[in-house]
Chain A
Amino acid sequence: MTHALADTWTLARRSLRHITRSPDTVITVLVMPIALMLLFVYVLGGLGQLTGSVSYVDFIVPGIVVMTVVSGISYAAVRLNMDVQSGIINRFRTMPVAPSSILGGQVASSTLSNLFSSLLVLLVALAIGFRSHAGITGWLIFAGILLLFTLATTWLAIFFGLLARTTEGAGAFSYVLILFIFISPAFVPTSSMTPWLRGFAEHQPMTPVVETMRSLLVNGTVGPHIWTAMAWILGILVVSYLLSVTVYKRKAIVVNT
């Protein structure tokens, strides 16, 4: 398997080309979260009264970054499903290419492109007044958590991309994740939610992730939710990875027979 790394990079380059050649994808992935951020800050800025001493733009930046990743990974599922539907994945599967490279190429391209979009979103946030008190260490931990979160949700996308019967359906799972982001303290504190919704919000994976990212950016510390966040992220990563590999191996990805 000496070629595995080279093959992964070859396939990742192919996938990155797909991303740069479909402007609609780039626009959706970048414009949606940025527009949402501007909408929240300039139209619904009154919500800032709920966030106490933290300025509203500082409050929502972690949620916006998480949303950027979630809308980005839905396209990873779509891209993989297009490969399944077109039959090109069967071409790769009958070639002397390491199986880990075929899925790994998609994971690598998704991770790189999502980190890039997150960086752009953070730059726009800085331009409209976002300020962080995090030092180098805080930013590095933030980047590490973002990387792990992207990897975990990308593997989730790989699972749905392999499983979906239609390309349209492949990215649909991301709507559930986006709903989870809205029912979390990403844009408003959970204290403002009705009690039963608050109960859900406080026990779902997006909440500790957003809280930890915010704690890092606002205070420069990981805060009390870091271990819950890590448990969710690593749990999703391991389960999605195992499910994806099982589907890839067991299920004959054979279409149009």
Chain B
Amino acid sequence: MEPAIEATSLRKSYKDVPVLNDVSFSVQKGTVFALLGSNGAGKTTTINILTTLIKADGGTAAVAGYDVAARPAKVRGEISLTGQFAAVDNRLTGRENLLLIGDLRHVADPAGTAVDLLRRFGLEGAADRAVSTFSGGMRRRLDIAMSLIGSPAVIFLDEPTTGFDPEARNEMWRTIRTLAAGGTTVFLTTQYLDEADELADDIAVLHQGRIVARGTAGELKKLVPGGLIELTFRDEETRDAAATALGTSYAPAKGEGATLTVTTDGSVSRIAGIFVGLADAHIEPTEFSQKAATLDDVFLKITGSSGEDR
């Protein structure tokens, strides 16, 4: 099957400052793809190239099978963009915003489409109020609703939850999941690892204009081998004794309460060594658990090391 988005060796510089350097990835139809990176990593530049707003200096990109540089009009017929800041018309009402987009996309029934979306996004009550009176969350919902008109095959969301409170973020996550379940391809950028973990089928980590890691959340987590063993003791005195017993070879870190965290490489001998060390010292932990690496650990490991390369 032909991918929904295919980027090959994209390069872009602004006044000799490289922003994207040989960026390649592909996104399968009907999947959610997250481009993960910190501020200034080049996420928005990538979205701007894919949505035909700017031209790449080098490399090629195709969306829905059309080359973005050669057939921008065709690409625009298949996509919608929801930028970082709600691109709504504050001086029109919610309904008028939806009608405007419906007219421009030449949908069969702009008024009916508007009514349907207002209901879906809980904006019926505010439909005929000027958008300037909307709250930030309502504006963002309207923004997304406008993006859905004409059922684009590929939806681009640039940092859809930046600056959101947890409740608004959960609501946005639900919307994105609903879109994906309906077969829409979703390309999102985010600074949040948990967001990529939660939503994306595939993740690419963009750092200083390069893709430094790619894969599913699970695959990326394997880049940080092993994980953490967290031990809990009866009291802090016991915990301190355990820390002494494990000594320098296991570099235990003292945590909240009477806990101790030990980083492992995942090997049986090392995990066994921890418990042998405790048994030799006649210390019984009251509780222990193994924690898998989070995407945060992955991100820090990848970007930390490649940051030192420079």
Partner-B contacts on A (CB < 8 A): 3, 6-7, 10-11, 14, 17-18, 21-22, 86-88, 90-97, 252-254, 256-257
Contacts and interface: CB of A to CB of B under 8 A. Distances in A.
A87 B159 CA distance: 14
B85 A256 contact: yes
A94 B51 CA distance: 6
Given A96-B73, A96-B77, A10 B89 contact: no
Interface stretch (B26-34, B97-105, B206-214): B97-105
B76 to A, nearest CB: 5
Contacts of B48: 252, 254, 257
A88 B143 CA distance: 10
Given A95-B80, A252-B54, A254-B53, 17 more contacts: A3-B106, A6-B103, A17-B91, A21-B130, A86-B89, A86-B90, A87-B83, A88-B88, A90-B81, A90-B83, A93-B53, A94-B51, A94-B52, A96-B76, A96-B105, A97-B76, A254-B48
B79 interface: yes
Given A21-B91, A257-B44, A14 B80 contact: no
Given A87-B85, A87-B87, A88-B87, A254 B106 contact: no
Given A95-B76, A96-B105, A254-B54, A10 B100 contact: yes
29 contacts: A6-B106, A7-B104, A10-B104, A14-B100, A18-B91, A22-B91, A86-B90, A87-B86, A87-B87, A88-B89, A90-B53, A90-B81, A90-B87, A91-B81, A91-B146, A92-B104, A93-B53, A94-B51, A94-B52, A94-B76, A95-B101, A95-B104, A96-B105, A97-B76, A97-B104, A252-B53, A252-B54, A254-B48, A254-B53
B180 interface: no
Contacts of A94: 51-53, 76, 79-81
Contacts of A18: 91
Contacts of B24: none
B74 to A, nearest CB: 9
Contacts of A3: 106
B293 interface: no
Nearest to A14: B100
B45 interface: yes
Nearest to A256: B85
B297 to A, nearest CB: 29
Contacts of B88: 86, 88
Contacts of B263: none
A6 B79 CA distance: 21
B159 to A, nearest CB: 11
A257 B14 CA distance: 12
B84 interface: yes
Residue of B77, B103, B104 contacting most chain A CB atoms (<10 Å): B104
A94 B88 CA distance: 14
7 closest cross-chain pairs (CB), A and B: A87-B87, A252-B54, A96-B77, A94-B81, A91-B87, A94-B51, A88-B87
